[in-house]
Amino acid sequence: MTVTAPGAAANGGRWLRLPLIVALGLAFASLAVTSGVAYVAVLAGATGTTERLLVDRTNRLVEAQVALLNGRLHPVTEHLEFIASLAASGRLKVDSPTDMREALAVMMGQVRGISATAFASLDFQLHRVIRHPDGQLQRDSVPMTEHPQNLARYRELQIMHRTYWGALFWSEAARQPVLNVRTPIRRVDDAFLGGLAATVAVGDLSYLLGDPGRGSDGRYFILTGKKHDQVLAHRRLVDPRGLNLSEEKPLPSIHEVDDPILAKFHDPPVGNPRVERALGGLGHLADAGGTRWVFVYRQVRGYGPEPWLVGRYFPLEDQTSDLERLTNGAMVGAATLAIALLIALVMGLRMARSIATITDAARQIEQLEFDKPFHQPSRLREIDEAGRSLDKARQALRWFEAYVPRRLVFRLMAAGENGVVSRRRDVTVMFTDIVEFTPQAEDLPESETAELLNHHFALLGAAIEHEHGMIDKYIGDSVMAVWGGISKMEDHADAAVRAALACARAIVEDNEVRRASGKQPIRMRVGLHSGTAVVGNIGAPGRVNFTLVGDTVNVAQRFEQLGKEFMTPSDEVVILASGDTIRALTEPPEALGLKLGKPELRQLRGHDEPVEVYRLL
């Protein structure tokens, strides 16, 4: 196997490197060529753009029209079913024609477009509420035997078990055809109690769909019939007088509504395969008076025995005008781009000189030369700020090359050179350890183990840093932290005790979340000890750690281990502190929330005299 030295690889690639000015020139030239190609592609793809715009508008128009239709007719069904449910449950008396008529009248006041409602009782009476053109409501009752059609519809309703829209029929009262929805009233035991019906006049439906207040342009339609040649909704049907409609001929044809555009609906489509393909099954093109019109529609079922075609139409030129604006915009954009390229080229030449300063600074960082300032003032704000940032990075990197913890580096930078001189300090050291972590981690995947430790260390780190402590190191699942190591701290013991109690609270609160999610709670031991320790750089000249050593560190760790003797199976956290830590407090223990009893005396390895042990938690 042949190994190539990194320097050789770098030297071998030098021929690929270009001067900054040349690179900028090539970049601007490439941008100009790319923009030119894009400009040509935009113009060449104009037809494709037309198709996409047409499909998008088609979908929006059809969906909006169908949604509007459903929004007008669904409330009729919902209110009718609500009244039927009240009657079926006995909350509305079916044997009271007055109550039934009043309920139907309230429904007509809430739902626009209903021309009449009726309750068909078991005694073959039709209790009606009819809306007159002036908006007044007429309430009456008539026998169904007077109108054989009503009796036939009643018989049909008796065998139904759901709400349904019946076939369109002629209404003498409204003098126009009406849509009708019917629902049976049945008790829980399925006994038939009567039926409800509501009608929507074709004129009212046409008005609701083409309401000018909603911005309608009147180019809407609903077609029905086996060949979809009968008009159910149209602006001409808002007032159907003059169309010679009758019971024998309730609906006009597309040729009888005085709409020359709609009359071309069934003509052979205009030959435009691309537009036809874009429309798909949602519409087609037709020619009327030398103008190409786009018909868009959707088949809708559920409002009677025959499906409807709900749609709109608009001139194709409405779509191509968007394309013309796109072409003009592309031309203006091309001219603007050319001017921008010239300006960018001039600016690039000036930027090259300033960027060379940043390049020199990066080279000095690569060679670990941090003594020479990088910053040179520049009129370009970003480059000027970059130079200042590199100067700050230079100072930070002088510490980062020897120390890893970021918080430690920040503190050392604040303390200056004196911060790294080894010296004896009065400190408080804390050790923590997760109880039985090893057997617990053996049952977890590696990723979950790492996630558990990271989360655990984050909880402890937040509490330690809040009390101005420094995490010295992580040892497996243990944490070693110190107070008073970087700079003198009169209340190092107080801060360490507060941090230990905060760690305990964080663990207890987190365990509640872990139990709620079915996870095993974390149990932890904490040991605190105060005394003197040597603080400073410890290690070989090429790799040092800023840490502390001495018997104080050893005693703190043994206090953490001593927690095994004090911890019961029900304890989540146990905190032990030495008598030296308690005596080092600057505040009374009560001020820290401690209720101390008499200390226990324990013998520690390496110590002739027993030490005082206080349990804080």
Q: Is 99 exposed, middle or buried, given 0-12, 13-18 or 19+ CB atoms closer than 10 A?
A: middle
Q: Are 432 and 460 contacting, i.e. CB atoms less than 8 angstroms apart?
A: yes
Third-level CATH fold of 406-615: Alpha-Beta Plaits (3.30.70)
Q: Which residues pair with 288 in a beta bridge?
A: 291
Question: How far is C-alpha 19 from the geometric centre of its chain's CA atoms?
Answer: 46
* Full-model pTM: 0.47
Give the H/E segment covering residue 584.
Answer: none
Fold match between domain 92-205 and domain 210-315: yes
Q: Which residue has the tokens 């960018």?
A: 344
Residues 6+ apart with CB under 8 A from 462: 506
Q: 214, 199, 167: which is closest to 308 by C-alpha?
A: 167
Q: 184, 204, 202, 203: which is closest to 194 by C-alpha?
A: 184
User: What HEC string does 187-233 produce?
Assistant: CCCCCEEEEEEEEEEHHHHHHHHCCHHHCCCCCEEEEECCCCCEEEE
Q: Which residue has the tokens 């050319």?
A: 338
Q: Which residues pair with 526 in a beta bridge?
A: 432, 575
User: Whole-angstrom Cα distance, residue 617 to residue 508?
Assistant: 12
Rounded to 5 degrees, φ, ψ at 544 are: -120, 160
The DSSP-derived string for 291-336 is EEEEEEEEEE-SSSSS-EEEEEEEETHHHHHHHHHHHHHHHHHHHH
Q: Is 178 helix (H, G, I), strand (E, B) or coil?
A: strand
Which tokens sit at 325? 């604006």
The count of C-alpha atoms lying within 13 angstroms of the C-alpha of 411, restricted to the half-sphere facing its C-beta, is 21
Q: Are 533 and 427 contacting, i.e. CB atoms less than 8 angstroms apart?
A: yes
Which residue type sits at 32? A
Q: 585, 591, 616: which is closest to 490 by C-alpha?
A: 585
Give the pLDDT of residue 462.
93
Residues 6+ apart with CB under 8 A from 146: none
Which tokens sit at 419? 């911060």
Question: How far is C-alpha 170 from the geometric centre of its chain's CA atoms?
Answer: 52
Give the pLDDT of residue 572.
95
CATH of domain 92-205: 3.30.450.20
Q: Are 272 and 285 contacting, i.e. CB atoms less than 8 angstroms apart?
A: yes
Q: Are 476 and 432 contacting, i.e. CB atoms less than 8 angstroms apart?
A: no
Give the other-Cβ count within 10 Å of 355's Cβ.
17
Mean pLDDT by 10 residues, the chain (617 residues): 40 51 64 66 59 71 85 92 92 92 91 90 92 88 86 89 91 87 93 93 87 70 91 90 89 92 88 70 82 88 91 76 59 70 68 67 61 62 69 64 52 59 88 90 85 93 92 91 88 95 96 92 95 82 75 94 93 95 94 90 88 93
User: Whole-angstrom Cα distance, residue 297 to residue 313?
Assistant: 9
Rounded to 5 degrees, φ, ψ at 517 are: -95, 10
Residues 6+ apart with CB under 8 A from 282: 58, 59, 62, 296, 297, 298
Q: Which residues pair with 231 in a beta bridge?
A: 223
Question: How far is C-alpha 93 from the geometric centre of its chain's CA atoms?
Answer: 49
Biggest alpha carbon distance in the chain? 120
The CATH classification of domain 210-315, taken from the options 3.30.450, 3.80.10, 3.30.420, 3.40.1350? 3.30.450
Phi-psi region of 539 (alpha: psi -120 to 50; beta: other; left: phi over 0): left
CA torsion, ordered 24, 28, 31, 35, to nearest 10 deg:
170
Q: 256, 320, 318, 314: which is closest to 288 by C-alpha?
A: 314
Q: Are 556 and 563 contacting, i.e. CB atoms less than 8 angstroms apart?
A: no
Domain ranges for the chain, please list them: 92-205, 210-315, 406-615
User: Whole-angstrom Cα distance, residue 425 to residue 23?
Assistant: 58
Q: 414, 534, 561, 523: which is closest to 472 by C-alpha?
A: 534
Euclidean distance between the first and final Cα of the chain, in Å?
62
The string over 572-585, giving b where at least 16 C-beta atoms fall within 10 Å of a residue's C-beta and e elsewhere, is bbbbbbbebbbebb
